[in-house]
Amino acid sequence: MVYDQPRAYGMAESLQAALDAVPGVQAYILTPLDDRPSGGYVWAQVGAVQSSADRMDGLASDASGSIILHCCGYSAAQAINTDDRVAAALLDWRWSTDAHVSPLRCVSVGAVTADRSVPSDVRWGTTRTYRWDA
Tens digit of pLDDT per residue, the chain (134 long)?
A: 454 667 889 889 999 999 999 999 999 999 999 999 999 999 999 987 666 555 554 444 567 889 999 999 999 999 999 999 999 999 999 988 888 788 999 999 999 999 999 999 999 999 999 988 87
Residues 6+ apart with CB under 8 A from 110: 126, 127, 128
Can you count the helices (H) and strands (E) in the chain?
2, 7
Residue 66 C-beta-side C-alpha neighbours within 13 Å = 9
Cα angle 65-70-74, degrees, rounded to a multiple of 5? 170
Using DSSP, state whether 47 is helix, strand or coil: coil
**pTM, full prediction:** 0.85
Using DSSP, state whether 12 is helix, strand or coil: helix
For residue 69, the surrounding DSSP H or E stretch is strand 62-73
